[in-house]
Amino acid sequence: MKGIEETIGEIGARSLWHPIKQHQGLQEKPMVPITSAEGSYIYAEDGKKYLDGIAGIWCVNVGYGREEMAQAGYEQLKNLSYLSPAMTAPSTAKLARKLLDTLGMEGRVYFTCSGSESNEAAFKIAWQYHQQSGEHGGWNRKKIISRYRAYHGNTLAALSATGQAERRIGYGLNAPGFLQVPPPYPYRRDEHHTVEEHGEKMAQWLDEVINFEGAQTVAAFLMEPMISGGGVLIPPDSYIPAIRKVCDKHGVLLIFDEVVSGFGRTGTFWGHQHWNVKPDIVTCAKGLASGYQPIGATIVSEKIFNAFLSSETDLNHLRHINTYGGHPVATAVALKNIEIIEREGLVENAAKMGAYMREQLDELIEHPMVGEVRSKGLLLGVEMVQNKETKEAVGSDVMNKILGSMKEDGVIITKNGNTIPNLCNVLVMSPPLSIGQAEADQIVDTLKSALLKLV
C-alpha cells in the first residue's frame, strides 16, 4: 500500500477496472487523468488538450461544460431530487411528450438509465405485446432477430442480440431465441448487384429467415438505422423501407436502436428519419442528455401500449421497473439538452459539418490503405485495408498506430475494436454536433498526417 504521495493516475491504475481494456502493465504506466472538458476538448492533468473526435462514447452531442445544463440539474436537485418512476415528475412528463413529438407519433415512453436497459425493456415489451394482442399475437412469438456487426448492450439479452462475435466470447452462448442476419455492407457486397439491389437482397434475407423460423415464433427485428460501433455501415436507401414491409408482412415488430443515431447525430433528429418509415419501438440513451446524466428510454407506439390496458388483476400491465428510470434530474437535464439542440440548430450543423468533413475525407481514398469512406451526418468511418483489390483488412497494429499518432497530435478518434473477427479495421469519428469548421479541419488534418506516416 502506497502513501499519500500517490498520484490520481496511480490510485486509478491500482483501483479502477476500465471497460474493454487490457490492464497488464497499466500499473507501471498509469494513464494521465482527465480533469476537465469544455466544448469539444478534454483536458488532461499534465496540461495536454485533446479534441474529442468521438464525443465521449458517441454521446456528448452538445459538447462539454454547458453552464445551463449544470444549472438545470442543480435547480431540479434542489426542488425534487428524486421521485419514484411510479409517480409523475413535471420534467419527466414533459420529456416523454417531447420525445413523442420529435418522433411524430403517439405512444408511451418508458425511461431507463442506459441503452442496454432500453433494449432489454423493448424485448420484454415486444414479448408481452404479442402475448396480449390479438393481431399476429401468441405465446410463441419470442424470437428476436437482429444483425451481425451491431452492438446492442452489455446486459445478457442485449448482448445476445449483439451481432459481434468477439464481444460474446467466453460469456456463454446466446440466450435462447436470439439470432442474427447480415446487414447491408455495400463495400463488400456481391458486385453483381447494384448498391440498391444489395439493400433489397439483405431485406429479403430477413424475409427468408422469418419464413424458415416460422413467423409465428418471431417477436421483433432490432436494428440500428446505421450500424455505428460495428464499423459505420450505412444502408442503401432501399433497405429500411423494405425491412418495414417485411416486418409488416409477418406481424414482426420493428425496433430501431437509436442509442447512437438519435438526437441529431446523423443529420436528422432520429436516424430512421432519413427514410419514410415508422417504427413500432425506438430505444435511445447517449445523446438524450448528451452524457450529462445517465438516461435512456424505450418509446412505443400507441398500438403496442394499448395491448397492456386491462383490469388490475390480470397482470397485463408491464411488470418491469428501474429505480432510477425517469429520474427527475436526468429528465430535466435531457429537456435542456434537447432545447439546446433545437435552439442552436445542431441537427442541421451535424448535416452541414458532416458533409464538410466527408468532402475532405473522400480525398483519402487515394491513400493505398483506405478502402472506403462512409458517413451519415457526423457519424463517419474509414475502412482500412492492406490491399484494395482483395479488400483484406489491416491488423490492429496499423489501427493502433493511427490512433496513437492522432492522440499524440491532440485528437482522439476510435476504431471498431474487439468486435468482428478479422474486420476490426474501421476508424470511427463522431465529434460533438456543435463542432465548427476549425475543429473539423483539425480532425481530418490530423488523420491525414497519421495516414501519411504509414506509407
Ligand X SMILES: Cc1ncc(COP(=O)(O)O)c(C=O)c1O
* Binder of ligand X out of 151, 178, 263, 292 (CB under 6 A): 151
Asked if 285 touches ligand X (CB under 6 A), the answer is yes
Q: Which 8-state DSSP code applies to residue 226?
A: S
**Contact window for ligand X (CB under 6 A) among 203-211, 257-265, 380-388, 437-445:** 257-265
Asked if 224 touches ligand X (CB under 6 A), the answer is yes
As beta bridge partners, residue 227 has 233
Closest by CA to 180, choosing from 201, 202, 163, is 163
CA-to-CA distance for 7 and 36, rounded, in angstroms? Answer: 17
Contacts with ligand X by CB under 6 A: the residue count is 15
Sign of the four-CA dihedral 154, 158, 160, 161: negative
Are 299 and 257 within 8 A, CB to CB?
no
Interface characters, 60-99, with ligand X (x: CB under 6 A): ----------------------------------------
Asked if 259 touches ligand X (CB under 6 A), the answer is yes
With respect to ligand X, which residue has the nearer C-beta, 260 or 351? 260
C-alpha cell at 178: 436470439
DSSP SS3 for 358? helix
With respect to ligand X, which residue has the nearer C-beta, 251 or 287? 287
**Contact window for ligand X (CB under 6 A) among 132-140, 145-153, 201-209, 391-399:** 145-153
With respect to ligand X, which residue has the nearer C-beta, 133 or 154? 154
Cell 431530487: give the residue: 81
Closest by CA to 435, choosing from 376, 361, 374, 350, is 350
Give residues 38-57 in contact with ligand X (rule: CB under 6 A).
57
The residue at minimum Cβ distance from ligand X is: 115
Asked if 228 touches ligand X (CB under 6 A), the answer is yes
Give residues 320-349 in contact with ligand X (rule: CB under 6 A).
none
* Binder of ligand X out of 39, 153, 225, 236 (CB under 6 A): 153
**φ, ψ of residue 105 in degrees (nearest 5):** -140, 155
Calculate the CA 158 to chain-centre distance: 13
Strand segments (E) across 74-233: 107-112, 143-147, 178-181, 218-223
CA dihedral in degrees (312, 316, 320, 324; nearest 10)?
A: -50
Other CB atoms within 10 A of residue 355 CB = 13
With respect to ligand X, which residue has the nearer C-beta, 20 or 455? 20
With respect to ligand X, which residue has the nearer C-beta, 234 or 444? 234
With respect to ligand X, which residue has the nearer C-beta, 333 or 451? 333
- Vertex 370: Cα angle to 364 and 371 (nearest 5): 125
| Residue 140 C-beta: closest distance to ligand X, Å | 27
Q: Which helix (H) or strand (E) holds 38?
A: strand 34-38
* Binder of ligand X out of 99, 247, 253, 260 (CB under 6 A): 260
With respect to ligand X, which residue has the nearer C-beta, 218 or 227? 227
Which residues of the chain form contacts with ligand X (CB under 6 A)? 57, 114-116, 119, 151-153, 224, 228-229, 257, 259-260, 285
